[in-house]
Structure 1
Amino acid sequence: MQVMILGLVLWTVAHLFKRVAPGLRARLGVLPGKMLVTVLSIAALALMVIGYRRAGVDPVYTPWPGIGHLNNLLMLIAVFLIGVPHSKGIVKTKLRHPMLLSVALWAVAHLLVNGDMASVVLFGWLGLWALVSMALISSQEPWTPPATGKLRSDLIGAAITLVVYALIAGAHYWLGYSPFLGTYG
Protein backbone atom coordinates (compact mmCIF):
# COMPACT_ATOMS: atom_id res chain seq x y z
CA MET A 1 0.00 0.00 0.00
CA GLN A 2 2.91 2.38 0.71
CA VAL A 3 4.16 2.05 -2.87
CA MET A 4 0.72 3.00 -4.18
CA ILE A 5 0.48 5.96 -1.81
CA LEU A 6 3.94 7.13 -2.90
CA GLY A 7 2.67 7.01 -6.49
CA LEU A 8 -0.43 9.00 -5.54
CA VAL A 9 1.66 11.64 -3.77
CA LEU A 10 4.01 11.88 -6.75
CA TRP A 11 1.02 12.21 -9.14
CA THR A 12 -0.54 14.93 -6.99
CA VAL A 13 2.69 16.90 -6.62
CA ALA A 14 3.41 16.68 -10.36
CA HIS A 15 -0.06 17.79 -11.38
CA LEU A 16 -0.61 20.49 -8.77
CA PHE A 17 2.92 21.93 -9.11
CA LYS A 18 1.80 24.56 -11.63
CA ARG A 19 -1.15 25.59 -9.43
CA VAL A 20 0.52 25.77 -6.03
CA ALA A 21 4.00 26.94 -7.10
CA PRO A 22 3.46 28.87 -10.35
CA GLY A 23 6.61 30.98 -9.90
CA LEU A 24 8.89 27.97 -9.54
CA ARG A 25 7.20 26.21 -12.46
CA ALA A 26 7.60 29.35 -14.62
CA ARG A 27 11.32 29.57 -13.77
CA LEU A 28 11.78 26.01 -15.05
CA GLY A 29 10.49 27.04 -18.46
CA VAL A 30 7.70 25.52 -20.54
CA LEU A 31 9.47 22.51 -22.02
CA PRO A 32 11.51 21.52 -18.93
CA GLY A 33 8.38 21.97 -16.78
CA LYS A 34 6.32 19.72 -19.05
CA MET A 35 9.12 17.15 -19.19
CA LEU A 36 9.33 17.09 -15.39
CA VAL A 37 5.57 16.56 -15.08
CA THR A 38 5.70 13.81 -17.73
CA VAL A 39 8.54 11.92 -16.05
CA LEU A 40 6.94 12.24 -12.60
CA SER A 41 3.56 11.16 -14.00
CA ILE A 42 4.98 8.03 -15.62
CA ALA A 43 6.81 7.13 -12.42
CA ALA A 44 3.64 7.82 -10.40
CA LEU A 45 1.51 5.60 -12.65
CA ALA A 46 4.02 2.77 -12.38
CA LEU A 47 4.10 3.05 -8.58
CA MET A 48 0.28 3.18 -8.38
CA VAL A 49 -0.15 0.08 -10.55
CA ILE A 50 2.55 -1.89 -8.74
CA GLY A 51 1.27 -0.83 -5.34
CA TYR A 52 -2.36 -1.56 -6.17
CA ARG A 53 -1.54 -5.00 -7.57
CA ARG A 54 0.51 -5.82 -4.44
CA ALA A 55 -2.09 -4.56 -1.97
CA GLY A 56 -4.08 -7.17 -0.16
CA VAL A 57 -7.86 -7.26 -0.22
CA ASP A 58 -9.00 -5.67 3.02
CA PRO A 59 -12.79 -5.23 2.76
CA VAL A 60 -14.20 -1.85 3.79
CA TYR A 61 -17.72 -2.19 2.38
CA THR A 62 -19.73 -4.50 0.14
CA PRO A 63 -20.86 -3.04 -3.19
CA TRP A 64 -24.62 -3.10 -3.78
CA PRO A 65 -25.99 -5.91 -5.94
CA GLY A 66 -26.37 -4.85 -9.56
CA ILE A 67 -24.30 -1.66 -9.12
CA GLY A 68 -21.93 -2.79 -11.87
CA HIS A 69 -24.43 -1.60 -14.46
CA LEU A 70 -24.20 1.97 -13.12
CA ASN A 71 -20.42 1.56 -13.10
CA ASN A 72 -20.49 0.64 -16.80
CA LEU A 73 -22.65 3.65 -17.68
CA LEU A 74 -20.39 6.04 -15.75
CA MET A 75 -17.33 4.51 -17.40
CA LEU A 76 -18.84 4.97 -20.86
CA ILE A 77 -19.42 8.66 -20.07
CA ALA A 78 -15.91 8.99 -18.58
CA VAL A 79 -14.30 7.49 -21.68
CA PHE A 80 -16.25 9.91 -23.88
CA LEU A 81 -15.28 12.92 -21.73
CA ILE A 82 -11.56 12.11 -21.78
CA GLY A 83 -11.53 12.79 -25.53
CA VAL A 84 -13.72 15.91 -25.51
CA PRO A 85 -10.83 18.43 -25.29
CA HIS A 86 -9.46 17.02 -28.55
CA SER A 87 -12.73 17.39 -30.43
CA LYS A 88 -14.53 20.30 -32.02
CA GLY A 89 -17.93 19.18 -30.77
CA ILE A 90 -20.75 20.82 -28.87
CA VAL A 91 -19.86 19.15 -25.56
CA LYS A 92 -16.47 20.91 -25.55
CA THR A 93 -18.28 24.26 -25.49
CA LYS A 94 -20.33 23.30 -22.43
CA LEU A 95 -17.75 21.78 -20.07
CA ARG A 96 -14.72 23.58 -18.72
CA HIS A 97 -12.91 20.54 -17.31
CA PRO A 98 -14.01 17.46 -19.28
CA MET A 99 -10.82 15.45 -18.63
CA LEU A 100 -10.86 16.10 -14.89
CA LEU A 101 -14.59 15.39 -14.80
CA SER A 102 -13.78 12.13 -16.59
CA VAL A 103 -11.30 11.20 -13.84
CA ALA A 104 -13.85 12.05 -11.14
CA LEU A 105 -16.52 9.89 -12.83
CA TRP A 106 -13.99 7.08 -13.35
CA ALA A 107 -13.12 7.21 -9.65
CA VAL A 108 -16.77 7.17 -8.51
CA ALA A 109 -17.56 4.32 -10.92
CA HIS A 110 -14.74 2.23 -9.49
CA LEU A 111 -15.65 3.06 -5.89
CA LEU A 112 -19.15 1.74 -6.61
CA VAL A 113 -17.85 -1.74 -7.45
CA ASN A 114 -14.63 -2.03 -5.39
CA GLY A 115 -15.04 -2.03 -1.62
CA ASP A 116 -11.50 -2.90 -0.56
CA MET A 117 -9.09 -0.53 1.19
CA ALA A 118 -6.63 -0.26 -1.71
CA SER A 119 -9.46 0.71 -4.08
CA VAL A 120 -10.88 3.25 -1.63
CA VAL A 121 -7.45 4.87 -1.28
CA LEU A 122 -6.56 4.78 -5.00
CA PHE A 123 -9.88 5.81 -6.54
CA GLY A 124 -10.86 8.09 -3.68
CA TRP A 125 -7.54 9.95 -3.84
CA LEU A 126 -7.61 10.38 -7.62
CA GLY A 127 -11.25 11.48 -7.56
CA LEU A 128 -10.46 14.04 -4.87
CA TRP A 129 -7.40 15.19 -6.84
CA ALA A 130 -9.60 15.79 -9.89
CA LEU A 131 -12.11 17.83 -7.88
CA VAL A 132 -9.36 19.90 -6.21
CA SER A 133 -7.73 20.49 -9.60
CA MET A 134 -11.01 21.72 -11.09
CA ALA A 135 -11.50 24.11 -8.17
CA LEU A 136 -7.93 25.44 -8.35
CA ILE A 137 -8.03 25.98 -12.11
CA SER A 138 -11.43 27.67 -11.92
CA SER A 139 -10.25 29.98 -9.14
CA GLN A 140 -7.01 30.95 -10.93
CA GLU A 141 -7.99 31.27 -14.59
CA PRO A 142 -11.01 32.80 -16.28
CA TRP A 143 -12.77 30.58 -18.85
CA THR A 144 -14.07 31.60 -22.21
CA PRO A 145 -16.03 28.75 -23.79
CA PRO A 146 -14.83 27.78 -27.28
CA ALA A 147 -16.90 28.69 -30.33
CA THR A 148 -19.95 26.53 -30.93
CA GLY A 149 -18.96 23.08 -32.07
CA LYS A 150 -20.50 20.59 -34.44
CA LEU A 151 -22.65 17.59 -33.57
CA ARG A 152 -20.70 15.53 -36.12
CA SER A 153 -17.56 15.83 -33.96
CA ASP A 154 -19.44 14.58 -30.90
CA LEU A 155 -20.84 11.64 -32.89
CA ILE A 156 -17.35 10.72 -34.08
CA GLY A 157 -16.22 10.99 -30.45
CA ALA A 158 -19.05 8.66 -29.40
CA ALA A 159 -17.99 6.09 -32.01
CA ILE A 160 -14.38 6.27 -30.84
CA THR A 161 -15.63 5.94 -27.26
CA LEU A 162 -17.31 2.63 -28.06
CA VAL A 163 -14.10 1.24 -29.55
CA VAL A 164 -11.96 2.43 -26.63
CA TYR A 165 -14.55 1.13 -24.14
CA ALA A 166 -14.42 -2.30 -25.82
CA LEU A 167 -10.62 -2.28 -25.52
CA ILE A 168 -10.85 -1.35 -21.82
CA ALA A 169 -13.40 -4.14 -21.24
CA GLY A 170 -11.07 -6.54 -23.05
CA ALA A 171 -8.18 -5.48 -20.82
CA HIS A 172 -10.34 -6.12 -17.75
CA TYR A 173 -11.19 -9.61 -19.04
CA TRP A 174 -7.49 -10.24 -19.69
CA LEU A 175 -6.73 -9.22 -16.07
CA GLY A 176 -9.38 -11.65 -14.86
CA TYR A 177 -12.27 -9.27 -14.16
CA SER A 178 -15.55 -9.36 -16.03
CA PRO A 179 -16.84 -5.78 -16.25
CA PHE A 180 -20.35 -6.87 -17.26
CA LEU A 181 -21.47 -9.00 -14.31
CA GLY A 182 -23.56 -6.29 -12.70
CA THR A 183 -22.75 -7.68 -9.26
CA TYR A 184 -19.26 -8.10 -7.84
CA GLY A 185 -17.75 -9.57 -4.73
Structure 2
Amino acid sequence: MTPVLEGADLPPGYGTVNPFVAVRGPGGAPGFLRFVAHVLDGRETRAAHTVDADDLLIHAEIRVGGSTIMVCDAKPHWVATPALLQVYVRDVDDVVGRAREAGAEVVTEPTPFHGGQRLARLRDPWGDLWWLYEYGPGSTAPSEGPDELPAWRPDPSAPPSYVHRTIDEALTAPGAG
Protein backbone atom coordinates (compact mmCIF):
# COMPACT_ATOMS: atom_id res chain seq x y z
CA MET A 1 0.00 0.00 0.00
CA THR A 2 1.33 3.45 -0.90
CA PRO A 3 2.12 5.77 2.05
CA VAL A 4 0.41 8.78 0.45
CA LEU A 5 -3.26 9.65 0.30
CA GLU A 6 -5.02 9.80 -3.05
CA GLY A 7 -8.48 9.91 -4.57
CA ALA A 8 -11.38 9.68 -2.12
CA ASP A 9 -9.00 9.53 0.89
CA LEU A 10 -7.95 13.16 0.29
CA PRO A 11 -9.84 16.16 1.68
CA PRO A 12 -11.98 17.91 -0.94
CA GLY A 13 -10.08 20.30 -3.19
CA TYR A 14 -6.58 18.94 -2.62
CA GLY A 15 -4.22 16.68 -4.53
CA THR A 16 -1.64 14.35 -3.02
CA VAL A 17 1.03 17.03 -3.59
CA ASN A 18 0.13 20.73 -3.51
CA PRO A 19 2.51 23.63 -4.29
CA PHE A 20 3.11 26.45 -1.79
CA VAL A 21 4.45 29.71 -3.17
CA ALA A 22 6.12 32.35 -0.97
CA VAL A 23 5.64 35.59 -2.90
CA ARG A 24 7.91 38.64 -3.07
CA GLY A 25 7.30 41.45 -5.50
CA PRO A 26 4.56 43.57 -7.02
CA GLY A 27 1.34 43.29 -5.04
CA GLY A 28 2.68 40.47 -2.84
CA ALA A 29 0.54 37.41 -2.24
CA PRO A 30 -2.76 39.26 -2.87
CA GLY A 31 -1.43 40.30 -6.28
CA PHE A 32 -0.40 36.71 -7.01
CA LEU A 33 -3.89 35.49 -6.06
CA ARG A 34 -5.49 38.07 -8.37
CA PHE A 35 -3.14 37.05 -11.20
CA VAL A 36 -3.95 33.33 -10.81
CA ALA A 37 -7.68 34.10 -10.59
CA HIS A 38 -7.53 36.18 -13.77
CA VAL A 39 -5.17 34.08 -15.88
CA LEU A 40 -6.19 30.56 -14.78
CA ASP A 41 -9.76 31.08 -13.50
CA GLY A 42 -8.54 30.27 -9.99
CA ARG A 43 -10.94 30.60 -7.08
CA GLU A 44 -9.66 31.49 -3.62
CA THR A 45 -10.75 29.27 -0.73
CA ARG A 46 -11.80 32.09 1.59
CA ALA A 47 -11.87 29.87 4.70
CA ALA A 48 -8.08 29.46 4.38
CA HIS A 49 -7.26 33.21 4.06
CA THR A 50 -5.15 34.01 7.15
CA VAL A 51 -3.37 37.28 7.89
CA ASP A 52 -0.47 37.04 10.38
CA ALA A 53 0.21 39.40 13.31
CA ASP A 54 2.46 41.54 11.06
CA ASP A 55 -0.39 42.09 8.54
CA LEU A 56 1.27 39.90 5.89
CA LEU A 57 -0.79 37.11 4.34
CA ILE A 58 0.55 33.95 6.05
CA HIS A 59 -1.77 31.51 4.28
CA ALA A 60 -4.16 31.58 1.34
CA GLU A 61 -5.31 28.90 -1.07
CA ILE A 62 -6.47 29.14 -4.66
CA ARG A 63 -8.02 26.32 -6.70
CA VAL A 64 -6.93 25.92 -10.30
CA GLY A 65 -8.79 23.10 -12.01
CA GLY A 66 -8.25 20.02 -9.85
CA SER A 67 -5.30 21.53 -7.94
CA THR A 68 -4.84 23.89 -5.05
CA ILE A 69 -1.96 26.37 -4.88
CA MET A 70 -1.13 27.64 -1.42
CA VAL A 71 0.29 31.16 -1.19
CA CYS A 72 1.84 33.52 1.37
CA ASP A 73 3.78 36.77 1.51
CA ALA A 74 7.47 36.06 2.14
CA LYS A 75 8.63 37.66 5.39
CA PRO A 76 11.31 40.31 4.73
CA HIS A 77 13.97 38.28 6.58
CA TRP A 78 13.19 34.92 4.91
CA VAL A 79 15.79 33.41 2.63
CA ALA A 80 14.65 32.40 -0.87
CA THR A 81 13.57 28.74 -0.97
CA PRO A 82 13.55 26.57 -4.13
CA ALA A 83 10.14 24.98 -3.38
CA LEU A 84 7.59 24.54 -0.63
CA LEU A 85 5.58 21.36 -1.17
CA GLN A 86 2.68 19.86 0.76
CA VAL A 87 1.66 16.21 0.69
CA TYR A 88 -1.22 14.34 2.35
CA VAL A 89 0.04 11.08 3.87
CA ARG A 90 -1.49 8.11 5.66
CA ASP A 91 1.01 8.00 8.54
CA VAL A 92 3.14 11.08 9.15
CA ASP A 93 5.46 9.26 11.57
CA ASP A 94 6.26 6.59 8.97
CA VAL A 95 6.97 9.15 6.26
CA VAL A 96 9.16 11.26 8.59
CA GLY A 97 11.15 8.12 9.41
CA ARG A 98 11.62 7.33 5.73
CA ALA A 99 12.68 10.91 5.04
CA ARG A 100 15.25 10.86 7.84
CA GLU A 101 16.71 7.64 6.42
CA ALA A 102 17.02 9.37 3.04
CA GLY A 103 18.91 12.35 4.51
CA ALA A 104 16.10 14.86 5.19
CA GLU A 105 16.25 17.25 8.13
CA VAL A 106 13.09 17.38 10.27
CA VAL A 107 12.06 21.02 10.66
CA THR A 108 8.80 20.43 12.57
CA GLU A 109 8.29 17.13 14.38
CA PRO A 110 4.88 15.49 13.88
CA THR A 111 2.44 17.59 15.87
CA PRO A 112 -1.32 18.09 16.19
CA PHE A 113 -2.56 20.78 13.82
CA HIS A 114 -5.66 22.64 12.66
CA GLY A 115 -8.74 20.56 11.99
CA GLY A 116 -7.56 17.42 13.79
CA GLN A 117 -4.78 16.83 11.28
CA ARG A 118 -1.15 16.11 12.19
CA LEU A 119 1.65 18.15 10.65
CA ALA A 120 5.38 17.61 10.15
CA ARG A 121 7.87 19.57 8.04
CA LEU A 122 11.06 18.40 6.34
CA ARG A 123 13.92 19.95 4.40
CA ASP A 124 15.11 17.56 1.70
CA PRO A 125 18.80 17.26 0.76
CA TRP A 126 18.29 19.85 -2.01
CA GLY A 127 16.84 22.51 0.27
CA ASP A 128 13.16 22.06 -0.62
CA LEU A 129 10.71 22.23 2.28
CA TRP A 130 7.93 19.64 2.52
CA TRP A 131 4.76 19.91 4.61
CA LEU A 132 3.33 16.49 5.51
CA TYR A 133 -0.30 16.39 6.62
CA GLU A 134 -1.90 13.30 8.11
CA TYR A 135 -5.62 13.58 7.32
CA GLY A 136 -8.14 10.96 8.32
CA PRO A 137 -11.42 10.28 10.10
CA GLY A 138 -12.33 13.23 12.32
CA SER A 139 -10.02 15.63 10.47
CA THR A 140 -11.14 18.73 8.59
CA ALA A 141 -9.27 20.94 6.15
CA PRO A 142 -9.93 24.59 5.17
CA SER A 143 -11.77 23.38 2.05
CA GLU A 144 -14.37 21.88 4.37
CA GLY A 145 -14.90 25.18 6.26
CA PRO A 146 -17.37 27.98 5.59
CA ASP A 147 -16.77 30.30 2.62
CA GLU A 148 -15.77 33.20 4.86
CA LEU A 149 -12.63 34.67 6.34
CA PRO A 150 -11.67 33.12 9.69
CA ALA A 151 -11.78 35.28 12.81
CA TRP A 152 -8.66 33.64 14.29
CA ARG A 153 -5.43 35.59 14.27
CA PRO A 154 -2.28 35.11 16.37
CA ASP A 155 -1.79 37.40 19.36
CA PRO A 156 1.14 39.67 18.41
CA SER A 157 2.16 39.95 22.10
CA ALA A 158 2.25 36.16 22.67
CA PRO A 159 5.28 34.01 21.92
CA PRO A 160 4.95 32.18 18.60
CA SER A 161 3.59 28.64 18.61
CA TYR A 162 5.85 25.68 17.84
CA VAL A 163 4.34 25.43 14.34
CA HIS A 164 4.95 29.15 13.64
CA ARG A 165 8.42 29.21 15.25
CA THR A 166 9.81 26.16 13.43
CA ILE A 167 8.84 27.39 9.98
CA ASP A 168 10.09 30.90 10.71
CA GLU A 169 13.43 29.47 11.84
CA ALA A 170 13.67 27.23 8.76
CA LEU A 171 13.08 30.18 6.41
CA THR A 172 15.22 32.78 8.20
CA ALA A 173 18.56 33.57 6.60
CA PRO A 174 21.60 32.88 8.81
CA GLY A 175 22.46 36.04 10.76
CA ALA A 176 19.06 37.66 10.07
CA GLY A 177 16.41 38.46 12.60
Shorter-chain TM range is under 0.3
Larger radius of gyration: 1
TM-score between both structures, scaled by the size of structure 1: 0.21
TM-score between both structures, scaled by the size of structure 2: 0.22
| Structure ranking higher in helix proportion | 1
Q: Which of the pair has the greater relative contact order for Cα pairs under 8 Å at 6+ separation?
A: 1
